[in-house]
Structure formats: structure tokens, C-alpha cells
Structure 1
């Protein structure tokens, strides 16, 4: 049915092409005849206008040039006429059935030369006329008019091109050729139906066709179909195996990529020629390069760091290619503290004697570890310095006591006092270090007890006021009479407040004041230590709670201290779930505020163990 529709469309298309060619030929012939009439008309008008008037219109019954035009071979010739300036005919020659139309000659010279068209009227055809003036002694004495009929549509065989005539029989033969080919291909159509049935699993083993010219071909074709069927079954089995293998490979690939994606490092897989085949999302933050910028590209196309590029190049194919793991410590930007560690592992081939299939590159951000190592080195340096100073004093006085000067009673008393102070300083330093270490190790548990804050703060301030450092200072306690009892670790909180008060006293000015106050807004308990001392600069405020940090101004450096008091106080307050806020201006004093949020642990007695 489908083939019959195709054949019908071929016949209809051939007829349509024939009609189009016929129309184009007719149109071409019309255009050709019009062009020929124009060329001949212009030529004749120019020729006749140059002939003297006396020869154009001879007297005595002689024939003039117009009479010759009767015998022109142009099939569309209509008429030729010599008219006066008033348009009256002087001499004319016409084709059968043609009439010279009357036209008034204009007075303007521009209307004497050219061409015009007379549309068809009842009983006549359209005419295209060419005209020009006839001069005698430089004066216009008459006008020449030559007309040609507008050619109609039709095909004149002698004017038809060879190719056009050739195309018509070719397209006429197309339907006939189709019908003949269809007749010859009927056996193949029958074979096609059998092959379709065979592919659908409905055909018998062989294809039987009537004997004829195609019998031998069809026997060979039957054998071919049988072999193709066997091969097709084999390919189906192979395809099923490949599909299963592909699914397993894809599953393993997805698992490996999932593992690489969950790694806390940036992961990069390069193939045997150095092209990136996989990159996880963490590389964007480490190297500033997205997955799309990495995938399918060599390192030299995306890596801007020459050190990293040279490191990766060591794993590219070549005589000096590394076959073992290597590590690179990388500083991407010298102006930033970021430090990276790049570990490259050549992938081990599963078959002996096979080249290395690629490289796994892991990139770790070791900035925190680097800073921690630096901090540890700085911590040891500070500890050594803090221990060395009192030990030097102890060693110096012990040696002096063994000498002649040690026999003096006054010197022995002075030495004992100094040795006692240095021992206390060492004891305080070691105790503070132990407290910080226990808190950082997470082995300190709060022993919360009910505390009446006004009595607790008054006792702390009274104890502190007995120190010799407070002789020239005014210590004040400001606290409301009624205060909500709180549950805190009294010993630890006393250490934190003592450290804040010690700093306020130590770095104060002579005649200054230290105020210990407390207030109770709706959401927190605030304990403040305010002084009128040297104050803290903006830059120093950012590091004021760091271990061993001390401000660099001369007044701060002149006072003794090891830079651990505020660190310990801050850790104790954080252990209680609070924070320390700082407000300070250089030269005006500082205010440290311990803010303890009113949570159930602060306001409610802990349950008995």
C-alpha cells in the first residue's frame, strides 16, 4: 500500500514537473519574442528616421522603404507608418488585421522619440510601438511609427531549446519506468515480506519463490538470511553481556567517584597522558578552579601555579616519569596564610607489564595544622622564656647566698623574699598552664554550687584589696542589694574574676580606680571589671585572649606577667556557656564584662548524682 502511494506520487510529480517545464518554455518564448521585437523596432526606427523624407515617401507611384517591411520575417509585425506632425498618416504598411492607431504628436521634443504601448481593445491585440522624428534641413517634417503585436502564450517548436525538448520525454518516461521496475521487483517485495516475518519470528526456515531469473539469487539469499539469523542471535548474546558489563563498570565508577567526593581533600585523577578525567567539588575552594574548567584538560591548560605545574609534570609519560608517590608542600599565595599539601599516587596497573594507567592527586588544606605547629613552637618558646626568668633569679640569689654576701642577715632576708616571690610566680604559671591544659583537653567538669553573687564578689574584692599593689588605688564594688542566686563553679569563676582584677590593678595608673560591678538584665548576668589604666589599642584587642599575648606598649611591657591570665579567664567563662566582652580606649582604661546567659544550668540547682 505504501509503495502504491509512492508510485502515485511519482506520477503526479512527473506530470507536475512537465506542466512547470511547459509553462517555463512558453514564458521564455514570450520574453524572447518581446526582446526580438524591441531590438528590431528600435533598429528600424533609427534606420528609417535617418532616410530623407523624399525617399521615405517617393512620388510617382514608386515603392518606398515602407513597402519592404511587408515582407519582414518577424511574426509579430503589426504596422509601419509615416505621419505628419499633426498625426495624420502620410504613408503606411500594415499586417493583415492591423490598424494604425491615431496618436497626436506632442509639441515637446521629448515626446518625439521612444516607445509606447496600446492595450488590447475589442477585436484587436495589444501593440508595442516605437517612434522617432524624421528631419529635413534640421527641421522635423514627419514621424516614423513602427508597431509589433504583443506575443501571446504558446510554444513554437523551432524556438524551443534542445534541453527543454529533451526534458519533456524524460519526465514522460518516468511513470513508465516506475511501472516496469515495480513489475520486475515484485519477487524482491515478496522476499522483503518474508524477511520481515523472519525478523519478527514468524517465518518458516526457508523462503520459497516461483522459479525464474531470480531463483539462484534467492537460494543464495536464503542461505544468507539463515547465517544472518545465527549471527544476529550471537550478537544479541554479546550485547547482553556487554550491557551487563557496562552496568557493572558504571556502578563501580559511581562508587569510586562517591568515595572520592566524600573525601575531606580535593581529589584529581589524571589519565596516562596527564588529562583530567575526574575532579571532586572541593578543588574549587582549594585551587579556585571549577570541575568544568578541569575536565578533559591538561594541567598546563588550567594550572597557574608554576610549582604545582612542575610537580604534576613529573607524572606525565616520559623516560623520567615518577612511578612512586610524591608529596609537595604548596603555598598558593604568599600574601595569605593558606598552606596546601599535594600528594600524587601513580595508579597501579592490574596487569603486569602494563604502563601506569594514570595518577591520583590528593590536595589537603594543612593551614590549620601549619598554624598549630607554629603555635606549638611559639608556646614552647614562651614557656621557656617564662621559666627561664625566675630560674635565673633563683640561681643568681642561691649563688650569692653561698658567698660572702650571704653572711649578711639583711641580704638573706631580701633573698628569701625574692626567692619566695619567684617560686610563687613559677607556681602560678604552672597552675595556670595546668588549668588551661585541662580545660582544652575537656577533662574539667563544673562543680556548680549555689552562689549569692553580692557576697561572692565582695569576698573577692576584699581579698584583692589586701595586696600591696592596691595601696594607691581606689577599689569599689557596685552591686544591687537583691540579686538572683546563680549556680556556678565558685573556684573556677573566682580564678577568672581574680585574673581580670589583677590585670586592672597591674596596668592601672597611680591614684586610679578599679570598679567591680554586677547587673541583671532580663537575659543574662553581667559581671564587669572597669579600670582607669593604660587601655588597649584596636589592633591588640583582636589578640588579647591569645596565649602569651601582651600588648607592645612600654607601660604594659614594664609590668610583670606571662600573658595567660586572660586566656584562662576566657576559657573558664566559655566553659560556663558565657563570653567576655571588652570595651577599651588607649589612655582612658578598659572594661571587661563577663556575660552569663540565664539558662537553666545557671539558675537551677543541678540534680544530685
Structure 2
């Protein structure tokens, strides 16, 4: 009998261990399925809360990056977002996986009204997948569908962790059984003393009190077991309620995390810097613009005081004034530079508080915008206005002075009078030309410069332009060379505007070529273009100034250039006119050797019947 016990007990123990292992595997599998359902419902609900318009145009890339970063760590096998017609807009899936999904699974997901949960196997695979789908709605209309697939992980029956756990469970069971056995025997020992025969219930007076105590002790154990069962029932109910609340909180946290990631991605794509700190000025976030400025990674600046990471006395003083409210009604921003980071760049800095729903400050936000180009533009505009004022004042002063002398009769000599009148005429023409250039430049920038295209004879255009240049060149004893074709080509364009463009180049050639220099003006036809070439032996243009000669506010600082009157509008207007005609303008120049400018205007078909 004892040998039989020694055989049966190990078999029972082994069978018990096997049953426990199978129960654990089954429980783990059910737990995995439960987690997949919870995770799948949560993910599709999270993604479906965002409008379909956030997946279009500029925000598409940001949403895709956020989805990839958010879903892959969650063990998602695939994520597909369809529009209202069923066409995929975003596909995050391994290669060829989407084609292996059974068509009936896709059809049911796309055409169901509410949340859809499906279990299936891929074609040619034994793995089990769970697909969760949910329609996306906007303003009461279905705008798309979200499909998320999760793979059921394989459950290993025997593993080191499982064997270790089984061994621990066996030990605990053995200890628990031993403890319970002896505990029950000790607890039930008073019951052994209760007589089984009713006749024996008559108890002597001496021992009656002791037996009653034993009965009361047995009743107390029964009540204790009942109360323990009730407590376990309430605990189970509370656990279910807590699990439901945890799912809801996890969904809210997921939505908040998703939106936070989107905000971070949007901040990283902006062209200005954003630094967010807590109320103690420790950095909690900095976007890519600021990190590039500081040449640091985000982990290197988090939880560090902003005064250490971005040292700047102006910012510190500005923030202090804002905190103490000393600048109420004052400047809303400051302009500063970061000597150790970007000494040549100017930044506009703004400071504001972040508040909760109650208006209590919870942090601060400092934004930085690079305004270097704006400051350069302001300086350039100031120089331009100063130069323009000088160009306007000079002829007006000459006209006023000469006119006053003539009116007062101070000039008696007829030849001198004639010279004064000629000077007044020339200065008036110069002033008129300057005002005309300003008006033309304004019209070009506003898109209001009218172009009346018609058939233009290039020989007339050539002669009109060269005649005006020859008169000015003759005064400086500049030789003008003309190269004309045997047959002048015709072109379609605005004759007056083309004359303005060519005359601007010719006038510059005469103006900036020293006395006894030379100018060459050529006209020829090539590659269906009418080409005008103007060359001179003037002062030339430096390599530094050459890229800016078409800027309306630019004028070279070369003394040879500034010595001559001019506004700097000429080449800017010429470029605009040539572009309006679909042509090309090329400039080659070397300082001290001269300049060569080529204007190419395309020839166009001209229909006489349309006129």
C-alpha cells in the first residue's frame, strides 16, 4: 500500500504540474487576445478622431511620421487609411502584406457602419491576425475608414520563464497545502469533540461551558469564510470597474500623446524657434530650429535652465521685466544677437506665459525669429531713400538756382543764358526720366505695367535707340560702333517698352565709360530670337556686385559708379520688361575692362487678321 502511494503521488503531482502548465498557456493566450482587442479598439478609435483633411497636402507627411512612430512600438502589423471611396490614402504595412489580406475582410471593414473586429489568417500563412476597422466621420458625413491589423503572438508551452514559474508555483502549492492541512486540522479539532450520538449531547455540568466555547469557535470560522467570499466578490467587481476606467484613461492618454507628437512635429517644421520652460525656467521642450542654433540634441537641453543653454543678457532682462510687470504698455519683443552661436544674425524674441484653465501660470514660451534679412532690407531701403532723395534734390536745386538767376536778370550774356536754359532742360529731362523710372518700377511690382504687343520693325527700333545714345556719347568723345544685319528681322512686342529696356543699357554704357572709350551695339537673328548686344570699355562691375545689379535698391559703392548720377532702377526695369516679353538677359563684366550685355527677344507669329 505504501509503494502504491509513492507511485500515485508523483503521478498526481506530474499531472497537476501539466494541468497547471496547460492552464497557464491557455490563460496567456486568452490574455494576449484580450490585450489585442483592447489595443485594437483603442488605436482605431484614436486615429479615427482626427479629420480626414489632416491627411492631405502639407500635413500628410507629419501625420505619417506620427503614425509610424506611434503604431510600430505598439506591435501593429499594418495600418491603412482609406478615403470615402475606398482608395488607400496612407499605407503603413510590410511589402506585399496588403495583397495577402482576404478580400472579404477588407470589404466588411470598408462597408460596415460601426466598429468592426475580424479574425483571419493571411493567404499562405498560419499566423492569426485580428483586424479592427472604424469609419471616420466629419460634420455627420463618412469621410474615410481606418483599418489596423495586429498579429497574435505565439504562446510557447515550455520556456525558461514558464518552467521557473511552475517550479515556484509547485513550491507554493506544497507549502500552501501543508499549511492549510495543518491549519484546517487545528481549526476543526474542536469539532471532533462534538458527540455524533444525540444521546451523548447531555453534557455534565462541569464541562458544559467548555463545549459551548468550542461550538462558538466553529461557528465563527464559518462566518469568517462567508465574509471572505463576499469580500472577494466585491474585489472582483472593483477590479472590473478599475480595468474599464484604465482603458478609458489609456485612450485619453493616447489621444493626448498623439496630439502632442503632432504639435511637436509642426513646431519642428516652422521657420522660427520655440523654447518652452516650466515656471522655474527649466527647459521642457525646444524645437528643431533652436536645437540647430545651439548645435545640441534635445536630450542635452531638457531639464536644464535656459540661462545656461541659451545665455543672453537681453533675454534675461526682458523676461525679468515681463515677470515684474515693469514693461506694461512697453515693447512686446526685443531684437538681439547670440554672440557665441550666430554673431552675424539678428533675432526677434517674444516672451509669454503658459496658463492652465484657472489662469495659473504653468510655464513660459520664448520664440525666436531670424530677422537678419529683414534688417538688411531695412538698411538697404534707408540707403535707397537717401540716394533717391539726393537724385531728386540735385536737379531741383540746379533748376531753382538757374531759374532764379535768369528771373533776377543777373545773366546778360546771350550765350550764357542759352547754356543756362539748356542746363535747365537737361535737368528737367533727367528729373522726368527718374520719376518715370520710379512709376514704372512701381507698376512692375504691382503687376500694372501695360504691354501693348504689336509688330515691331527692328531697324526702326535700332535707329531710335542708337540715335539717342550717339548724342550723349559724342559729348564724351566716345566712339560708337554699329553692327547691323543686311536684312532686319521683325518681332512682336511693345515697341516703347523695348526702347526703354535697350536705352537703359545704352545710357549706362555711355554714363560709365570714360572719355575716348568705345561702345558697340549689335543686332542679329539667331535660334528664332532677335538678339541685341551692347558692349563697352567702361569701368566694369566687380564680382561682388554682379549678382545684385538687378536689385532696384542696389547701387554699387565703387567710386567710379557713385560719381555719376543715377537711381539704380535702370537694369531692374530692363530685366522686368525682357521677362514680360519671354526673353533672356545676360550680363558679363570684369572690373576695369568693361561690360557685355545680351538681350534676346523671342520671335512670335503675327496674325494680321487679328488686328
Q: Which bracket does the TM-score occupy, shorter chain normalised?
A: 0.5 to 0.7
* C-alpha contact (below 8 Å) 1:343/1:361 kept by paired residues: yes
Instruction: Provide the rounded CA distance (Å) in 1 between the counterparts of 2:527 and 2:447.
Output: 31
Out of 437, 450, 453, the residue aligned to residue 432 of structure 1 is: 437
1:401 to 1:480, Cα distance in 2 relative to 1, 3 A:
closer
Instruction: Provide the rounded CA distance (Å) in 2 between the counterparts of 1:558 and 1:397.
Output: 22
Counterpart position of 1:349? 356
Does residue 182 of structure 1 match 2:182? no
Does residue 391 of structure 1 match 2:396? yes
Which 10-residue stretch deviates more, 356-365 or 466-475? 466-475
Instruction: Provide the rounded CA distance (Å) in 1 between the counterparts of 2:372 and 2:11.
Output: 75
Instruction: Provide the rounded CA distance (Å) in 2 between the counterparts of 1:378 and 1:225.
Output: 86
Superposition CA RMSD, Å: 4.2
**Shift, 1:498, TM fit:** 0.6
Counterpart position of 1:134? none
Counterpart position of 2:13? 4
Q: Which runs of 5+ in 1 are unaligned?
A: 10-174, 190-210
1:272 to 1:578, Cα distance in 2 relative to 1, 3 A:
farther
Instruction: Provide the rounded CA distance (Å) in 2 between the counterparts of 1:284 and 1:521.
Output: 54
Instruction: Provide the rounded CA distance (Å) in 2 between the counterparts of 1:290 and 1:493.
Output: 56
| Deviation readout 1:7-52 (Å, 9 max, x if unpaired) | 999xxxxxxxxxxxxxxxxxxxxxxxxxxxxxxxxxxxxxxxxxxx
| Deviation readout 1:272-301 (Å, 9 max, x if unpaired) | 222333333333455544544444433134
Q: Which runs of 5+ in 2 are unaligned?
A: 1-9, 19-169, 185-217
Instruction: Provide the rounded CA distance (Å) in 1 between the counterparts of 2:513 and 2:533.
Output: 16
Out of 383, 402, 405, the residue aligned to residue 400 of structure 1 is: 405
* C-alpha contact (below 8 Å) 2:538/2:592 kept by paired residues: yes
Please report the TM-score for the alignment, with normalisation by the length of structure 1. Answer: 0.58
Out of 577, 589, 593, the residue aligned to residue 588 of structure 1 is: 593
Instruction: Provide the rounded CA distance (Å) in 2 between the counterparts of 1:579 and 1:332.
Output: 42
SS of 1:357's partner is: strand
Out of 269, 273, 278, the residue aligned to residue 285 of structure 2 is: 278
Instruction: Provide the rounded CA distance (Å) in 1 between the counterparts of 2:333 and 2:584.
Output: 42
Out of 465, 479, 485, the residue aligned to residue 460 of structure 1 is: 465
| Count of aligned pairs | 415
**Shift, 1:522, TM fit:** 4.0
Q: Following superposition of structure 1 onto structure 2, how do residues 140-159 of structure 1 map, counting pairs within 5 Å?
A: none
Please report the TM-score for the alignment, with normalisation by the length of structure 2. Answer: 0.58
**Shift, 1:425, TM fit:** 1.2
Counterpart position of 2:31? none
* C-alpha contact (below 8 Å) 2:476/2:515 kept by paired residues: no
**Shift, 1:558, TM fit:** 4.4
Does residue 420 of structure 1 match 2:425? yes
| Deviation readout 1:367-392 (Å, 9 max, x if unpaired) | 23222222222222112111111121
**Shift, 1:515, TM fit:** 1.1
Q: Following superposition of structure 1 onto structure 2, how do residues 516-527 of structure 1 map, counting pairs within 5 Å?
A: 516-522=521-527, 525-527=530-532
* C-alpha contact (below 8 Å) 1:286/1:365 kept by paired residues: no
SS of 1:464's partner is: helix
Instruction: Provide the rounded CA distance (Å) in 2 between the counterparts of 1:436 and 1:558.
Output: 23
1:398 to 1:453, Cα distance in 2 relative to 1, 3 A:
closer
1:8 to 1:363, Cα distance in 2 relative to 1, 3 A:
closer
Instruction: Provide the rounded CA distance (Å) in 2 between the counterparts of 1:291 and 1:181.
Output: 53
Counterpart position of 2:337? 331
Which 10-residue stretch deviates more, 289-298 or 393-402? 289-298
SS of 2:534's partner is: strand
* C-alpha contact (below 8 Å) 1:299/1:309 kept by paired residues: no
Q: Following superposition of structure 1 onto structure 2, how do residues 154-553 of structure 1 map, counting pairs within 5 Å?
A: 182-185=177-180, 218-250=225-257, 252-254=259-261, 256-257=263-264, 260-261=267-268, 263-308=270-315, 311=318, 326-333=332-339, 337-351=344-358, 354=360, 356-406=361-411, 408-467=413-472, 469=474, 472-481=477-486, 485-522=490-527, 525-547=530-552, 549-552=554-557
Instruction: Provide the rounded CA distance (Å) in 2 between the counterparts of 1:459 and 1:501.
Output: 12
- The structure with the largest helix share of the pair is 2
| Deviation readout 1:533-553 (Å, 9 max, x if unpaired) | 333333443443344655555
Counterpart position of 2:152? none
SS of 2:338's partner is: coil
1:243 to 1:398, Cα distance in 2 relative to 1, 3 A:
same
| Deviation readout 1:386-432 (Å, 9 max, x if unpaired) | 11111211221232223341455444333322222211111111111
* C-alpha contact (below 8 Å) 2:512/2:561 kept by paired residues: yes
**Shift, 1:259, TM fit:** 5.5
SS of 1:268's partner is: strand
* C-alpha contact (below 8 Å) 1:454/1:481 kept by paired residues: no
1:389 to 1:359, Cα distance in 2 relative to 1, 3 A:
same
Which 10-residue stretch deviates more, 389-398 or 334-343? 334-343
* C-alpha contact (below 8 Å) 1:470/1:505 kept by paired residues: no
Instruction: Provide the rounded CA distance (Å) in 2 between the counterparts of 1:176 and 1:261.
Output: 56
Instruction: Provide the rounded CA distance (Å) in 2 between the counterparts of 1:217 and 1:240.
Output: 35
* C-alpha contact (below 8 Å) 1:469/1:505 kept by paired residues: no
* C-alpha contact (below 8 Å) 2:384/2:554 kept by paired residues: no
**Shift, 1:256, TM fit:** 4.5
**Shift, 1:440, TM fit:** 1.7
Which 10-residue stretch deviates more, 426-435 or 576-585? 576-585
1:608 to 1:341, Cα distance in 2 relative to 1, 3 A:
farther
1:271 to 1:2, Cα distance in 2 relative to 1, 3 A:
farther
| Deviation readout 1:63-92 (Å, 9 max, x if unpaired) | xxxxxxxxxxxxxxxxxxxxxxxxxxxxxx
| Deviation readout 1:224-259 (Å, 9 max, x if unpaired) | 202212322332343244234324434554564465
1:436 to 1:363, Cα distance in 2 relative to 1, 3 A:
same
Instruction: Provide the rounded CA distance (Å) in 1 between the counterparts of 2:242 and 2:421.
Output: 102
